[in-house]
Amino acid sequence: MAVFTDGLLTPNDAFFVRYHLSAHPTRIAPATFRLRVRGKVNTALELSLADLKRLAPPVELTAVNQCSGNSRGYFNPRVNGGQLGHGAMGNARWTGIPVRALLGQSRPRKDARQVAFKGLDHGLLAGTPDFIKALDVDHALDGEVMLAWAMNGEDLPMLNGYPLRLIVPGYFGTYGVKHVDDLEVLDSVYTGFWMASAYRVADNPSHTVAPGTAPKKTIPIARFTIRSFITSLADNATIPAARETVVRGIAFDSGHGIREVTVSSDGGQTWRAATLGADSGRYGFGEWKFGFTPPARGSFTPLSRALNRIGESQPLEPLWNPAGYARYVVETVCVEAV
């Protein structure tokens, strides 16, 4: 939270890193790297980085990258998986080219249904499936989904996907395939492990099931749920009693836009509007703040709750699912007024 309160963009050297597969690249020679586009296309392509950068004018987009399991460690009942706090997210300015520009050169055939994106990393055992994620062709062609080579104005750090990664604005980080070297256009829905077995959620908007149960029908995880965080107060921080402290935070959703953030300092009995500040575009973090004057000494747990332009907001009670994905409950920090 100290990093998130410092500025809307998360610096590259503070950004979280997540891999499923141990044999991920630690060096890639830019001169010999090739990106392939193949499958149900009229023209298969094999491009160097220089070719790719010449293909179309570069675009820039600021977007949050957040792991599906961000905040999983707070699930109750506990769930398997990395016991993450709130740090498996970050907001960066990505530079690259729209996948639409790339596919425009190779021209998918009429019967194309999905595009599968493969990363260069591998598992240690022969049977471990490579990291491959798929998007519907229409989604891949929306002009926003991009192949990025720069993050906050610098080459992608190796651990964040050098030399190229996929950015799917508003979608969970699992779609952000790092070290992408292969796009395969398919005439069917991709059935590999990372789409058909992993990263599946209950087929309802909050991805929720009764604690301890499994969803009956699942779909691939997709868009972010809406979230807000108090960033300027660490848990157990001390603030002065009977004097105003300006409390700052961030909010984001899957791209509809934050309409309002409300705050409560009495455990959710009364709410008032926070002041929205700078934002970093519809897919990025936005700032907000409010003045909080603890009426007396004691413990307080200020709450924040975001609402977006299509009416999505954060629940007051945590929702549960077996994989610990997409947490978006109203979060708390505990502060001591002295």
* Binding footprint of Mo ion on the chain (CB under 5 A): 18, 67, 173-174
Smallest gap, in angstroms, from Cβ of residue 303 to Mo ion?
27
What x/- string results for residues 63 through 82 when contact with ligand MTE is judged by CB under 6 A? --x-x---------------
Count, residues near ligand MTE per rule CB under 6 A = 20
DSSP 153-172: TEEPPGGGTTT-EEE-TTB-
Q: Give me 253's structure tokens.
A: 């959703």
Nearer to Mo ion, 66 or 106 (CB): 66
Smallest gap, in angstroms, from Cβ of residue 20 to Mo ion?
8
Of all residues in the shown chain, the one whose CB is closest to ligand MTE is: 119
Instruction: Count CA within 13 A, CB hemisphere, residue 310.
Output: 8
Residue 185 contact, options ligand MTE, Mo ion, none, Cβ 5-8 Å cut-off depending on partner type: none
Nearer to ligand MTE, 194 or 290 (CB): 194
Nearer to ligand MTE, 9 or 233 (CB): 9
Residue 292 contact, options ligand MTE, Mo ion, none, Cβ 5-8 Å cut-off depending on partner type: none
What x/- string results for residues 151 through 190 when contact with ligand MTE is judged by CB under 6 A? ---------xx-----------xx-xxxx-----------
Smallest gap, in angstroms, from Cβ of residue 173 to ligand MTE?
3
E strand or H helix at 54: helix 49-55
Contact between 139 and ligand MTE by CB under 6 A: the answer reads no
Nearer to ligand MTE, 178 or 327 (CB): 178
Which of 62, 60, 59 is closest to 8 using CA atoms?
Answer: 62
Beta bridge partners of 97: 147
Residue 16 contact, options ligand MTE, Mo ion, none, Cβ 5-8 Å cut-off depending on partner type: ligand MTE
CA distance 70 to 75: 10
Sign of the torsion formed by the C-alpha atoms of 291, 295, 297 and 300: negative
Q: Give me 4's structure tokens.
A: 């998130």
Nearer to ligand MTE, 18 or 289 (CB): 18
DSSP 245-301: EEEEEEEE-SSS-EEEEEEESSTTSS-EEPEEEEE--TTS-EEEEEEE--SSSEEE-
Cβ neighbours, 10 Å, residue 304: 26
Residue 122 contact, options ligand MTE, Mo ion, none, Cβ 5-8 Å cut-off depending on partner type: none
CA distance 304 to 332: 8
DSSP summary character for residue 224: P
CA distance 185 to 157: 28
Nearer to ligand MTE, 65 or 254 (CB): 65
CA distance 134 to 166: 11
Residue 246 contact, options Mo ion, ligand MTE, none, Cβ 5-8 Å cut-off depending on partner type: none
The contact set with ligand MTE (CB under 6 A) reads: 15-21, 65, 67, 119, 121, 131, 160-161, 173-174, 176-179
